[in-house]
């Protein structure tokens, strides 16, 4: 069935090419001419956005819980100021839906946790409960179950101010820091983002602090007289029942815990936290662990002027974006490495000369960001030499295989004046990425074999995905990297291909873990498989093409709503967006479908919706933090992916053949010596 969509922006007014790129050759009439003009305008726009140091970074928009929790932290620490509060409140108000709720993504349904947190933040900002927007929010919240229906993390924030009882929250003791890595529920069985959050939260939960709030929130409870209803227990024969009873045991332990053991455990947690503070004062380059780490250390007696805490608070200020005067938005993290490698690929694939100064400068910056010391990943791979890249400016503890693969793909597109330096960097990266392959032949993002089923069962862990299992999109990017280096027949690559073919959905798509969703997964896997030698006639490629063509919107674009993570009826369905249209086009082009009607319509949609400045408008969220729970609008996606897709269309260059490096890079993977079955024919 062909998906439907609402209208799209009208055709832009053509503009004269800027002086930042050379005058184009005469172009043919019609669609090709429009595509070439769109490519040049997009390239001009992207080049103009490059930082003088060589990197790119777009805003990373999430939801108002980031802004609310920032204000709540400042209130808890006694450092909330009027300017910050007023500017954050303006942003929070601007995101409220007409029904009074706040969503977690643009155009999405209201979310009770986001609404409760936004409401209390606005109360801190001085909004009265009888104001129309506040009364509407409270009414909506009560209709959805009120505070009792919100997630654990929301109720932790409420407990900090006496709006919820600590006794009615799941327990996770700081003694978890002592569990060896072979035991279930040790901190390294959690994904890196979860462990960075959980370790400081165990300190907060052990202290159970309360800073009495200046107001109550009875209006958010369904029954203010009994705001904390007891959860009905699942049968003891179920996993949920077992973990609910384990939580009871942990609550009992909290009452009788030996003080010396508890004190030692909290100190061990504090050392763990401080050891992982980055050079810029942050933790993992992401906002939530920084918030909880500052709070935990403060509860342990670290003053606000202590260098560790002060650096942490300074880092939180750098997450603030002021999109316009008087409005303040908090980013959950920043994505300069990811944005820079994608921008480099886009410009190179659009035809920018490989030795163009912008690309060389970008390569220099990326080379300087390579991580050459071990991080938490080494717990599972202690003998593996470092060599990856992280997502953010400063995050040496947590490089990821996805960024590393894309950086390598970007570097191989640049004619760098110091080729030996670039080759050495690529060799280290390939060795590290190959060494991070999980036992099943695929790749997770931050850790190898981070697949324990137990962390997701904890009552405490309802804030999103807490483990980092291999995913199709990450595995595809690593496979594409290997193929670009001439390693498509390496045993590691073949095992990755085998896994990808086995993971294809019945409808022909692939699940997208870090992007929305099946369009992202399919748009990642198909180019990787074709780069690795599978042809457009391979059954898996044919099924993927058929699915993509079946979900193309009537306006010619592609789109997919985040609700596809919970409801398969949304798979491949949603408003057309520039990034998702580009992902579909990249897959179809790599499958040899350049001259198809679907590609022509997709290209036409991109050229007709391009804005006068060369960019695209994209309010819809197409990035994923946690499927179903945390969504992202990468503001640079609307630029880099359409430029990549249109560039490949205009150049009409067989994908995956232009950027192979000399064969000596095979040494970086071949020494592992693993074998696998060949992928040919599998998944048919």
Whole-angstrom distance, CA of residue 561 vs CA of residue 106: 10
CB 328 within 8 A of CB 88: yes
CB 465 within 8 A of CB 627: yes
Helix (H, G, I), strand (E, B) or coil at 468: strand
The C-alpha R_g of the chain, in whole angstroms, comes to: 25
List C-alpha distances in Å: 653 to 137, 392, 589, 622. 53, 32, 9, 27
Closest CA to 668 of 482, 494, 465: 482
Terminal-residue alpha carbon distance, the chain: 23
Structure tokens at 368: 């300087």
- What is the DSSP track for 326-376? TEEEE-SB--HHHHHHHHHHHHHHTT--TT-HHHHHHHHHHHHT---S--G
Residue of 44, 247, 400, 402 with catalytic role? 402
What is the DSSP-derived secondary structure letter of residue 320? E
Q: Quick check: is 99 catalytic?
A: no
List C-alpha distances in Å: 61 to 153, 317, 319, 376, 482. 20, 16, 11, 27, 32
List C-alpha distances in Å: 77 to 80, 165, 333, 483. 8, 20, 22, 51
Whole-angstrom distance, CA of residue 575 vs CA of residue 557: 8
Identify the sign of the CA torsion 124, 130, 134, 139.
positive
What is the DSSP-derived secondary structure letter of residue 460? T
Q: Which residues contact 16 (CB under 8 A, 6 or more apart)?
A: none
Q: Which residues contact 475 (CB under 8 A, 6 or more apart)?
A: 442, 443, 496, 499, 500
Whole-angstrom distance, CA of residue 119 vs CA of residue 537: 55
Whole-angstrom distance, CA of residue 594 vs CA of residue 590: 8
Closest CA to 607 of 635, 643, 637: 643
CB 64 within 8 A of CB 282: no
Whole-angstrom distance, CA of residue 548 vs CA of residue 53: 39
Instruction: Read off φ and ψ for residue 606, nearest 5 degrees.
Output: -65, -45
Structure tokens at 363: 């390569």
Closest CA to 524 of 496, 552, 550: 496
What is the DSSP-derived secondary structure letter of residue 95? T
The set of catalytic residues is 402
């Amino acid at each position: 069935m062909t998906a439907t969509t609402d209208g799209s922006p009208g055709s832009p007014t053509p503009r004269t090419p800027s002086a930042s790129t050379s005058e184009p050759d005469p172009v043919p009439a019609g669609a090709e001419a429009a595509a070439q003009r769109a490519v040049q305008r997009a390239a001009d726009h992207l080049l103009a956005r490059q930082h003088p140091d060589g990197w790119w970074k777009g805003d990373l928009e999430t939801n108002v819980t980031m802004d609310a929790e920032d204000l709540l932290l400042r209130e808890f620490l006694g450092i909330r100021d009027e300017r910050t509060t007023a500017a954050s409140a303006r942003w929070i108000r601007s995101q409220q839906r007409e029904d009074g709720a706040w969503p977690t993504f643009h155009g999405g349904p209201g979310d009770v946790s986001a609404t409760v947190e936004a409401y209390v933040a606005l109360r801190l900002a001085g909004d009265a409960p009888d104001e129309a927007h506040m009364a509407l929010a409270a009414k909506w919240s009560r209709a959805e179950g009120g505070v009792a229906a919100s997630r654990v993390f929301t109720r932790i924030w409420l407990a900090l101010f006496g709006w919820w009882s600590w006794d009615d929250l799941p327990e996770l003791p700081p003694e978890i820091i002592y569990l060896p890595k072979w035991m279930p529920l040790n901190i390294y069985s959690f994904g890196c983002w979860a462990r960075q959050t959980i370790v400081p939260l165990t300190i907060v939960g052990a202290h159970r602090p309360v800073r009495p709030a200046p107001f109550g929130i009875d209006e958010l409870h369904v029954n203010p007289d009994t705001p904390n209803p007891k959860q009905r227990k699942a049968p003891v024969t179920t996993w949920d029942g077992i973990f609910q009873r384990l939580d009871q045991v942990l609550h009992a332990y909290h009452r009788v815990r030996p003080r010396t053991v508890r004190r030692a455990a909290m100190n061990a947690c504090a050392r763990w936290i401080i050891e992982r503070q980055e050079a810029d004062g942050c933790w993992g380059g992401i906002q939530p662990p920084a918030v909880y780490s500052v709070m935990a250390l403060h509860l342990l007696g670290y003053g606000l002027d202590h260098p560790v805490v002060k650096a942490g608070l300074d880092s939180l200020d750098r997450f603030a974006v002021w999109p316009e005067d008087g409005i303040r938005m908090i980013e959950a993290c920043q994505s300069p490495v990811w944005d820079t490698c994608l921008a480099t690929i886009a410009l190179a694939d659009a035809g920018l000369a490989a030795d163009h100064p912008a690309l060389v400068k970008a390569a220099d910056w990326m080379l300087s960001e390579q991580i050459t010391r071990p991080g938490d990943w080494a717990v599972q791979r202690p003998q593996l030499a470092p060599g990856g890249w992280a997502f953010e400016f400063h995050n040496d503890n947590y490089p990821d295989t996805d960024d590393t693969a894309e950086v390598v793909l970007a570097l191989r597109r640049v004619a760098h004046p110091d080729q030996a330096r670039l080759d050495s960097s690529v060799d280290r990266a390939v060795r590290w990425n190959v060494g991070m392959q999980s036992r099943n032949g695929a790749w997770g993002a931050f850790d190898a074999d981070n697949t324990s089923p137990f962390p997701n069962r904890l009552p405490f862990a309802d804030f999103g995905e807490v483990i980092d299992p291999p995913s199709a999109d990450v595995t595809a990017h690593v496979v594409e990297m290997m193929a670009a280096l001439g390693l498509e027949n390496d045993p590691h690559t073949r095992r990755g291909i085998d896994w990808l073919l086995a993971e294809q959905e019945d409808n022909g798509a692939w699940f997208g873990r870090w992007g929305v969703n099946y369009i992202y997964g399919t748009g990642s896997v198909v180019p990787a498989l074709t780069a690795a030698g599978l042809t457009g006639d391979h059954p898996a490629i044919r099924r993927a093409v058929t699915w993509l063509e079946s979900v193309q919107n009537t306006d010619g674009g592609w789109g997919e709503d985040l609700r596809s993570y919970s409801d398969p009826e949304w798979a491949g369905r949603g408003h057309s967006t520039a990034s998702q249209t580009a992902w579909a086009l990249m897959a179809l082009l790599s499958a040899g479908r350049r001259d198809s009607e679907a590609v022509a319509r997709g290209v036409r949609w991109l050229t007709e919706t391009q804005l006068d400045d060369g960019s695209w408008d994209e309010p819809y969220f197409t990035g994923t933090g946690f499927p179903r729970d945390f969504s992202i609008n990468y503001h640079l996606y609307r630029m880099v992916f359409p430029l990549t897709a249109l560039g490949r269309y205009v150049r009409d260059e067989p994908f995956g053949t232009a950027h192979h490096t000399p064969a000596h890079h095979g040494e970086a993977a071949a020494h592992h010596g693993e074998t696998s079955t060949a992928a040919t024919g599998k998944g048919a």
